[in-house]
Amino acid sequence: MRFSKLRLTGFKSFVDPTDLIISDGLTGVVGPNGCGKSNLLEALRWVMGENRPTAMRGGGMEDVIFAGAATRPARNFAEVALHIDNAERLAPAGFNDHDALEITRRITRDVGSAYKAGGKEVRARDVQMLFADASTGAHSPALVRQGQIAELINAKPRNRRRILEEAAGISGLYQRRHEAELK
């Protein structure tokens, strides 16, 4: 599975629909302070099911919605669509029927989040599991936030183990075991 495009609409500073094309190889995002580089990475994490406001640098989940600017009114919803190239058919079962897969997440004020995979409504958990099984979830070590290296060095062993489990692609199993134990 390879990410091919990220489309943001009303997400944080990206008020108008904005496409980020993700080509083969390394993608670099450069720009002046405050232009939205970190917001892009947060959009990627958010569409994969991130639900911790702290990871999104906000107080509440609705803080990802464009809050308005001097010349633009606030929006009522934010949407992020992640296009995945699945030509090699490596997506987990249930998501593996097509050469391309589009995952979208939309949050509407006072309504909450809704997810779609391939145009069909799915649960947050389905999307989180899809990416956890593909070792590239919202908590993936492939996404390195500003300041995260220092956090990793100072992390407690238990938290560091979580990061290694995500890298090893077994965090989906860990989550399922946790859920089974709660039942």
Residues that bind ligand ATP (CB under 6 A): 12-13, 31, 33-39, 63, 65-67
Q: Which is nearer to Mg ion, 51 or 148 (CB)?
A: 148
Instruction: For residues 142 and 173, give the distance between their C-alpha atoms in angstroms, rounded to a whole number.
Output: 19
Q: How far is the CB of 57 from Mg ion (least distance, A)?
A: 9
Q: Where are the alpha helices (DSSP H) in the chain?
A: 37-47, 124-133, 148-154, 157-168, 171-182
Query: In the range 26-85, which residues lie near Mg ion by CB under 5 A?
Result: 37-38
Give min distance, CB of 72 to ligand ATP, in A: 9
Q: What is the CA radius of gyration of the chain?
A: 17
Q: How far is the CB of 121 from Mg ion (least distance, A)?
A: 33
Decide: residue 47, CB within 10 A, 0-12 exposed, 13-18 middle, 19+ buried: buried
* Shorter beta-carbon distance to ligand ATP: residue 15 or 84: 15
Strand partners, 130: none
Structure tokens at 19: 């496409």
Choose the contact partner of 35 out of ligand ATP, Mg ion, none; CB within 5 to 8 A by kind.
ligand ATP
Residue count at the site for Mg ion (CB under 5 A)? 2
Give me the residues that bind Mg ion (CB under 5 A), please: 37-38
